[in-house]
């Protein structure tokens, strides 16, 4: 009589196979082909994999050299990642502070973060956020004082500056505000 299949509580946990140079490189390559990433995020991923699995080779692992090689080959580019992430967050209506925090968390260098932040239009992002959430002049109804405070708090949490948020909430219409800010941004 055949033995029945073991139930889930009888199964032994799968033991991960130890890594060597080739397996580590394959893991890194699979990671960068699947996800847009920075050098710091790749380094963190490789460090985690080395902690989770044993090292099989006699030479010590060198994830730093592997990360440097991927950067040199162009598989990982912090500038491209940072610009794409900043554009994405800005288009969704997030302000400069929120974008800066996301780039810092991803491991983008300080100077590069500053260069990327300069290319963003924070007022356009604020308008996008207000339109999407129907705040201020884009609201369908006249909000009460408590609703105005909540809306302002949401815009501040999204990384927008207080002066611009206050101006948006005081605007009579969205078109008037857009025209005013368009004139201010013109050289």
Per-residue confidence in pLDDT tens, the chain, 187 aa: 677 776 666 677 777 788 889 999 999 999 999 999 999 999 999 999 998 888 887 888 889 999 999 999 999 999 999 999 999 999 999 999 999 999 999 999 999 999 998 889 999 999 999 999 999 899 888 889 999 999 999 999 999 999 999 999 998 888 888 888 887 665 4
Residue 65 lies in a domain: yes
105 token code pair: 């968390």
Rg of the chain (C-alpha set): 24
Q: Is 100 inside any structural domain?
A: yes
Q: Are residues 126 and 183 in the same domain?
A: yes
Cβ-count burial of 90 within 10 angstroms (0-12 exposed, 13-18 middle, 19+ buried)? buried
Residue 82 lies in a domain: yes
Domain count across the chain: 3
Expressed as residue numbers, the domain containing 102 is: 77-120
Residue 88 shares a structural domain with residue 136: no
pTM of the model: 0.81
- pLDDT tens across 134-176, in order? 998 998 888 899 999 999 999 999 999 999 999 999 988 888 8
Which candidate, 11, 10, 28, places its Cα nearest to that of 19?
28
Q: Is 90 in the same domain as 51? A: no
Q: Which of 139, 134, 177 is nearest to 166 (CA)?
A: 177
Element (H, E) at 177: helix 174-185
In this structure, the answer to whether residues 65 and 94 fall within a common structural domain is no
Question: Residue 136: inside a domain, yes or no?
Answer: yes
- Asked whether residue 12 is assigned to any structural domain, the reply reads no
């Amino acid at each position: 009589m055949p033995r029945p299949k073991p139930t889930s509580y009888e199964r032994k946990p799968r033991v991960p196979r130890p890594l060597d140079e080739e397996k580590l490189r394959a893991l890194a390559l699979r990671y960068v082909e699947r996800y847009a990433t920075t050098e710091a995020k790749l380094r963190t991923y490789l460090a985690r994999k080395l902690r989770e699995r044993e090292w099989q080779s006699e030479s010590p692992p060198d994830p730093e050299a592997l990360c440097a090689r991927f950067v040199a080959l162009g598989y990982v580019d912090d500038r491209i990642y940072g610009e794409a992430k900043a554009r994405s967050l800005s288009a969704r209506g997030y302000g400069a502070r929120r974008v800066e925090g996301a780039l810092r968390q991803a491991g983008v260098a300080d100077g590069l973060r500053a260069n990327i932040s300069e290319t963003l239009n924070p007022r356009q992002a604020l308008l996008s956020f207000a339109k999407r959430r129907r705040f201020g002049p884009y609201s369908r109804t006249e909000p009460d004082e408590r609703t105005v405070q909540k809306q302002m708090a949401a815009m501040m949490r999204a990384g927008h500056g207080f002066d611009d948020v206050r101006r948006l909430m005081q605007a009579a219409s969205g078109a008037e505000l857009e025209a005013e800010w368009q004139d201010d941004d013109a050289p």
